[in-house]
Structures are given as C-alpha cells and as structure tokens.
Amino acid sequence: MRGKALHISVLGLIALVAFAGFFTRGIAAQEATPAPIAENQLAPGVTAEVFAAVPSGRAPGQTLYTVRLVFQPGASIFPHSHPGTTVLSVASGEFGWTLVKGTAHVVRGAASGSPQAIEDLTQPGDDVVLHPGDAIYYEDDVVHTARGAGSEPAVVLGSFVLTTGQPLLMPAGMNMSATPTS
C-alpha cells in the first residue's frame, strides 16, 4: 500500500511541476524574467540554472531546488546521480536519458493533467527520448546519462529534493562526502 501511496504522491508532484511549467511559459514572455541565482556549465553544451534552493520544512535535512537544464543538440553529460529525489519535465526539444543503474519512472504526457501509464526503466542501457510534456522521476540510487536528442536545444525543468549540503550532481563512482586524507 505504501508503494501505491508513493506513486500517487509522486504523480501529484509531477502534475504540480508540469502545471508550473505550463503556467510559467506565459510568464517567460514578460519583459522582466527573473535571473537564476546560479548558472553552471555541467559539460560542453549542458548548462544548469538554479532558480531556487530552499530548506524543506517537511523533510528535515533536505533542500528543494528548482532548476532549468539546457542540453544543446548532441550534447551529453557523463554518468552521474543526484543525492535525493529528482523530477524532470521537458519544456521544449527532445531530451534523451539513459539508465546506468537503478530504477526510473517515465510519465508520458505528464503535463496534460491525465498522464499515461508509468513506464519503469530497470535494465542498464534502457534509453528513452522524452518530448515536451513528458516527465521522468527517480531516487538517489539511480545512475544515468542525459543528452540533447533533437535538432534544437532540450530545455528541461527540474525539481530536486536533495540532502542539504550535497552537490546537485555527483559523478558516478565518486564519494562526494568522503573526508580527504593528507
């Protein structure tokens, strides 16, 4: 029963993110668009713009991030994970995502308000191309790669609930919390 409740909660979160993405498209057309608080190049042709990072009152020790990722056509990022829960929604373009380890969940048409069935990715090498309105969500045990899969930039909106103090992205095989030895 707990798994079903989690699926329902995650679907609610996806719907909220998708609605926010739909709503903010109109706002983006305004003359004054808020600037990100941080912008980083993650790999050649891959940028992340952090728009918010706030502590979670419901999940102590967790920080909620709002991020816009842009993948130029053909650009990709190395295998990595995130230290918490991730929800990604495609705003424009085509976004390729490949599973290396773990389980991820794809929701086609998540932005429509009546998403189709959830597709589970469980095998290393499982690959999907997400289109505007599609979403993918997963936990911290998932290692993956991502890429711009179309002829125009892929713009992906992300909501992350991550362990406070940890980086948003951890390259696979690296222990970011290890104490350096002298």
What would the DSSP string read from start to end of 129-181? EE-TT-EEEE-TT-EEEEEE-SSS-EEEEEEEEEETTS-S-EETT--TTPPPP
Instruction: Profile the chain (182 residues) by mean pLDDT over runs of 10 residues.
Output: 44 38 38 68 94 92 96 97 96 98 95 82 98 96 97 98 91 60 42
C-alpha–C-alpha distance, residues 138 and 13, integer Å: 12
C-alpha–C-alpha distance, residues 72 and 137, integer Å: 22
Model confidence pTM above 0.85? no
C-alpha–C-alpha distance, residues 51 and 159, integer Å: 10
The CA-based angle 143-134-24, given to 5 degrees, is 110
Residue 74's pLDDT is what? 97
C-beta of residue 62 within 8 angstroms of C-beta of residue 163: yes
Residue 11's pLDDT is what? 39
Residue 5's pLDDT is what? 44
Residue 23's pLDDT is what? 33
C-beta of residue 168 within 8 angstroms of C-beta of residue 67: yes
The CA-based angle 94-87-62, given to 5 degrees, is 150
- Sheet of 76-81: strand order equals 127-130, 95-101, 143-148, 76-81, 170-171
Residue 32's pLDDT is what? 53
- In the chain, the domains with their CATH numbers are 2-170 (2.60.120.10)
